[in-house]
Amino acid sequence: MRPTERTEKSVKKLRYKPSAEVHNRVLTNVMQALEKREKHKSAEVQPSIWRIIMKSKITKFAAAAAIIMAALIAFHFVGNPFGAAVTFAKVIQPILNARTIVLDLVVGSEETGLVVHDIVVGSKIRRTLPNMGHAIIDLDNARLLRLDPLDKSAVYINIQGPFQKWAKNYLGLVRDIVADMENHPEWPVQELGQRWIDGQRAVGFLLSGPKIKLTIWADAETAVPIRIEILTGRSQTIIKNIEFDVPVDESLVSMDIPDGYTLHEKELDYTDFNEQDFIIVLQFWAEHILGGNFPDSVSGEDILKVAPVLRQKIDQLNISDEEKMQLGMAMGRGFMFFRQLEMSGADWHYVGKGVEFGDANTAVFLYRPKSSANYRVIYGDLSVKDAAPSDLPK
C-alpha cells in the first residue's frame, strides 16, 4: 500500500458516532422544527411528482408520445422473432433469409393478450399497437418515426440507450443469437412431436436456455415456422400469423414524412431507466387510475393495456406540457425498467394485489438486481428496502 493510501485509510477510520442522548435530542429538535414549519405553512402545496424526474431534452411534444414510444420500443426486448434463431437450421432458415416478414405478436396469454402487428422489411419494422397508433423503426440507424393521423404530427426520434445497443442490426442480431446457441451445446432442443395449429400439421421444438424457453412450431412439410412461443420468466409472448417474403409496399416502412404532417424531431433518452422510474409508474397507476389501490397484476400485457389510459390521465392533469412530458418520459423509462427485468429472466415478484397506496408495511414489488445477493423490496408507501432472501416479506 502506498503511503498516501495508508494516510487516506487512517483518516477514513476517523468515524464518529452520536451518543444515544445526542441522537434523540437532535432528532427531536429536527422534528419540532418540522411541526413548527407545518403550523406556519399557509397552504398545502402538493409537490408535483415530476420534480423528482430528471430533466430531459424534450420540451414540447406531449407526454402521450413518450409513453407510446416506450411501449413501442419496449417490444424490442421481445418483439422480433429473435427467439426463432435456434440451432435446428432448417426451421430458422426462413427467419434468417426472408427479406420481409409479417407477423402478429401476442403479449401475454393468447386469450387476453394484446396483439401487436409487425411488418418487417430488412432492418425496418412497421409496428402497430392497438389504441396507440404505429411507428416505423429503423433498427440499423436506431431511429424511430411515429405518425399520428389524428393531429397529423410526425416525430423522429433518435433513440439512445439499450435499444441502440441491442438492436442495431436485425439480421446481424439474429445471427449472433444462432452463433451463441451453437456455442452452448448444453442448451437442449427437445422435439415436441406433431400438433394441429390453425389447420396446419405442425412439428414442435422446445429450446431451453438458462433464461428462456422457446417453442417453435413449424409446418410439418415445409419446415416454415408458423408459431413461436417465448417464455422468459413468467412473461409469455406468442408470434403467430407469420408470413415470410410476402410482397410489402415499401412505403409502409418509409422513414419519410408524408405530406400534410408536421414534423418534430426529438431525442428520446432511455439510457438511465431505473427502479425510481418504475416506482413512478406504480404510483401513478395506483393513485390516478385505481383510486388508491395497486393493480392486481403487473406484466408486459398489463403495462401495454394501461399505457393508453396513463396517457389520457396525464393529459388531464393540471400541469404544464413540460411537466407532462417529464412525467411521460419517466413512465416510459419505468416501462423499460420493468420490461428489462421481465425479459432478462430476473427474479422478480409483484405482490401488490389488494395493497393500498401508502401502506408502509406491505410489499408491492420485489426483485433481485443483477449480481446482487439481496432483493430490493418496494412497499406500498413506495419506500424501498434491501432484504436478504431469508428476510423477504411473506
Stretch that binds other proteins, among 5-13, 91-99, 225-233, 297-305 (CB under 8 A): 5-13
Report which secondary-structure segment, H or E, holds 32: helix 20-40
Neighbours of 104 (CB within 10 A): 14
Residues 6+ apart with CB under 8 A from 124: 136, 137, 138, 139, 253, 255
Stretch that binds other proteins, among 30-38, 124-132, 145-153, 230-238 (CB under 8 A): 30-38
Answer whether 283's CB lies under 8 Å from 294's CB: no
DSSP per-residue string spanning 47-103: --GGGGSPP-S--SS-HHHHHHHHHHHHGGGTSSGGGG--S-HHHHHHHHH-SEEEE
- Say whether 305 sits in a helix, a strand or coil: helix
Check binding of 262 to other proteins (CB under 8 A).
no
| Conformation bin of residue 289: beta by default, left when phi > 0, alpha when psi is -120 to 50 | alpha
Which residues from 61-120 bind other proteins, rule CB under 8 A?
none
Smallest gap from residue 292 Cβ to other proteins (A): 14
Check binding of 43 to other proteins (CB under 8 A).
no
Smallest gap from residue 275 Cβ to other proteins (A): 5
Stretch that binds other proteins, among 44-52, 125-133, 151-159, 245-253 (CB under 8 A): 44-52
Size of the residue set binding other proteins (CB under 8 A): 43
Which residues from 304-343 bind other proteins, rule CB under 8 A?
none
Interface with other proteins (CB under 8 A), residue from 274, 312, 320, 372: 274
Smallest gap from residue 370 Cβ to other proteins (A): 15
Separation between Cα atoms, residue 255 and residue 143, nearest integer Å: 9
Which residues from 147-176 bind other proteins, rule CB under 8 A?
none
Answer whether 258's CB lies under 8 Å from 154's CB: yes
Separation between Cα atoms, residue 297 and residue 167, nearest integer Å: 29
- Is the dihedral angle over the CA atoms 206, 303, 135, 58 positive or is it negative? negative
Stretch that binds other proteins, among 112-120, 181-189, 268-276, 313-321 (CB under 8 A): 268-276
Smallest gap from residue 286 Cβ to other proteins (A): 14
Smallest gap from residue 65 Cβ to other proteins (A): 24
In terms of CB distance, is 177 or 382 closer to other proteins?
382
In terms of CB distance, is 31 or 246 closer to other proteins?
31
- Is the dihedral angle over the CA atoms 257, 261, 267, 273 positive or is it negative? negative
Answer whether 114's CB lies under 8 Å from 301's CB: yes
In terms of CB distance, is 50 or 156 closer to other proteins?
50
In terms of CB distance, is 190 or 274 closer to other proteins?
274
Answer whether 69's CB lies under 8 Å from 273's CB: no
Which residues contact other proteins by CB under 8 A? 3-4, 6-8, 10-19, 21-23, 25-27, 29-31, 33-34, 37-38, 45-47, 49, 51-52, 274-276, 279, 360, 381-384
